[in-house]
């Protein structure tokens, strides 16, 4: 490891989601003193109520042929799993046009080639966190994917063949019998091995504890409003506190990224793809996550209950909670499950997935010296947060080349 003459000593990280906290943790590995600022608190954005899949083989570029058509078909239907708000802002339309332009097989393959090194290193980065004192467990268990019609698994098999061709170890099998928690409306099950899952809220709390135990500060209720050079060097201006001085800054504000990152030269838009979740009672504890592609719903064991997460609502990131979306998820999954009590719902939640038009995250330096961004991981920021933090910390604190991050240059206008 090559350490530059003067690596940054004090680093301010803005955003206490999975990406910001993991980056802070790995910066500490290199000796940085970190302060994490969050406008609300730990896990206030998308990182709390998500499905908690650590599923690198599913972390693929979101733009793909067919997805936008599904969104347009669902426009008049607020219950559709993929929902475009009919009152779209001009910026959202611009995002969708760019997203559509990227929705080709060729673009998917180049995005997949870029993501593969991150996907392959995603679970080992969780092992680093565990070895370094993050006490929350990750659970290894196959994901069971249920399809209502024989043959309906062809699209997922095709996608996973693309993932394997790009260099990941994809282990698929078909159980001979379909049983609970699937109902008799499920005809085929695909089993995806080698993946893990977590309780995202519990995991973030443990990660935050570890950052603090290693000397880091996490300052809640502090909204950053600008990053600039002040009298003593770089500083983060906030709405409520004195400026936070730093030698380097990382902006990890998820779907809120453009507010701070646009003035730093980051032109690629980040659009909220809002998802909803809740927990439901089960007749016996689950051991595996379950995915229902027809309903676009992911279910994960969470203590003695399951978390149900789903829908993709292209809308304002701070729009109010829409109870119809939860009802829509319930209606779409109920026929396919048994032993799940969907009248016993708790913890309703909505959070914004930070989507980029090319389906790739933004990780690296901005045009302001010393200021970096880490975000835009869309559907997979929990899985990819730790590896992002590990690579970005190496890039900031050493002179080692980090070629894995080249495709995610935050200053890109487009990628090949
Ligand atoms: C329903 C659903 C299910 C999902 N399931 C999975 C899954 O199974 N596996 C997976 O890998 N991913 C999943 N995701 C995606 C994942 O949740 C996100 O990609 C990830 O949480 C993004 O993390 P982040 O740290 O970039 O952003 P966030 O977690 O959104 O964190 C951003 C933080 O920045 C703070 N902030 C914003 N602006 C400011 C400011 N100006 N000053 C200070 N603080 C600020 C916010 O308060 C927030 O805490 C899911 C998402 C949803 C919605």
Q: What is the pLDDT of residue 42?
A: 97
Structure tokens at 278: 């809740």
- Residue 117 C-alpha to ligand 1 middle, in angstroms? 22
* pTM given for the model: 0.96
Gap between the Cα atoms of 255 and 220, Å rounded: 18
Side by side, which strands form the sheet with 10-14? 217-219, 33-37, 10-14, 248-251, 371-375, 362-365
Q: What is the pLDDT of residue 408?
A: 98
**List of the chain residues with pLDDT < 50:** 415-416
Beta bridge partners of 364: 373
- Hey, what CATH class is 10-408 in? alpha beta
Helix locations, 138-230, DSSP H: 154-165, 200-213
- Residue 1 C-alpha to ligand 1 middle, in angstroms? 31
Is ligand 1 within 6 A of the CB of residue 28? no
SS (H, E, C) 9-77: CEEEEECCCHHHHHHHHHHHHCCCEEEEECCCCCCCCCCCCCCCEECHHHCCCCCCCCHHHHHHHCCCC
Q: What is the pLDDT of residue 6?
A: 83
What is the atom index within ligand 1 of the atom nearest the CA of 378?
Answer: 19
- Residue 389 C-alpha to ligand 1 middle, in angstroms? 14
Is ligand 1 within 6 A of the CB of residue 381? yes
What is the atom index within ligand 1 of the atom nearest the CA of 382?
Answer: 11
Q: Which helix (H) or strand (E) holds 142?
A: none
Is ligand 1 within 6 A of the CB of residue 52? yes
Q: What is the pLDDT of residue 1?
A: 65
State phi, psi for 106 to the nearest 5 degrees.
-65, -45
Is ligand 1 within 6 A of the CB of residue 16? yes
Residue nearest (by alpha carbon) to ligand 1 atom 19: 381
Q: What is the pLDDT of residue 79?
A: 66
């Amino acid at each position: 490891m090559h350490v530059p003459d003067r690596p940054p000593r004090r680093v301010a990280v803005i955003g206490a989601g999975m990406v910001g906290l993991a980056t802070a943790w790995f910066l500490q590995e290199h000796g940085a003193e970190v302060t994490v600022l969050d406008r609300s608190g730990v896990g206030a954005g998308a990182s709390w109520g998500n499905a908690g899949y650590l599923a690198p083989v599913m972390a693929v570029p979101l733009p793909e042929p067919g997805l936008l058509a599904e969104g347009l078909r669902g426009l008049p239907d607020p219950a559709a799993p993929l929902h475009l708000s009919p009152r779209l802002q001009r910026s959202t339309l611009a995002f969708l046009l760019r997203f559509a332009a990227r929705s080709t097989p060729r673009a998917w393959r180049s995005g997949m080639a870029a993501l593969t090194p991150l996907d392959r290193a995603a679970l080992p980065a969780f092992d680093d966190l565990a070895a370094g004192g993050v006490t929350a467990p990750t659970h290894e268990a196959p994901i069971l994917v249920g399809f209502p019609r024989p043959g309906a698994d062809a699209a997922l098999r095709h996608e996973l063949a693309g993932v394997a061709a790009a260099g990941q170890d994809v282990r698929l099998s078909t159980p001979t019998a379909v049983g609970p928690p699937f109902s008799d409306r499920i005809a085929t099950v695909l089993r995806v091995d080698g993946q893990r899952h977590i309780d995202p809220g519990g995991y973030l709390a443990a990660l935050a504890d570890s950052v603090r135990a290693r000397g880091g500060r996490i300052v809640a209720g502090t909204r950053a409003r600008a990053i600039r050079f002040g009298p003593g060097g770089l500083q983060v201006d906030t709405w409520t506190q004195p400026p936070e001085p730093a030698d380097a800054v990382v902006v990890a504000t998820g779907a809120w990224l453009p507010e701070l990152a646009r003035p730093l030269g980051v032109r690629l838009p980040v659009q909220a793809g809002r998802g909803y979740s809740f927990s439901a009672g089960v007749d016996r504890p689950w051991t595996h996550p379950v995915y229902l592609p027809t309903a676009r719903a992911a279910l994960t064991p969470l203590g003695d209950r399951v978390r149900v997460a789903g829908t993709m609502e292209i809308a304002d990131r701070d729009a109010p909670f829409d109870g119809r979306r939860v009802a829509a998820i319930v209606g779409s999954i109920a026929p396919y499950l048994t032993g799940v009590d969907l009248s016993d719902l708790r913890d309703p939640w909505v959070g914004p997935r930070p989507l980029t038009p090319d389906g790739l995250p933004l990780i690296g330096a901005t045009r302001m010296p010393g200021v970096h961004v880490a975000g835009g991981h869309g559907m997979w920021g929990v899985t990819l947060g730790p590896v992002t933090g590990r690579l970005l910390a190496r890039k900031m604190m050493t002179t080692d080349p980090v070629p894995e991050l080249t495709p995610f240059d935050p200053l890109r206008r487009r990628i090949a």
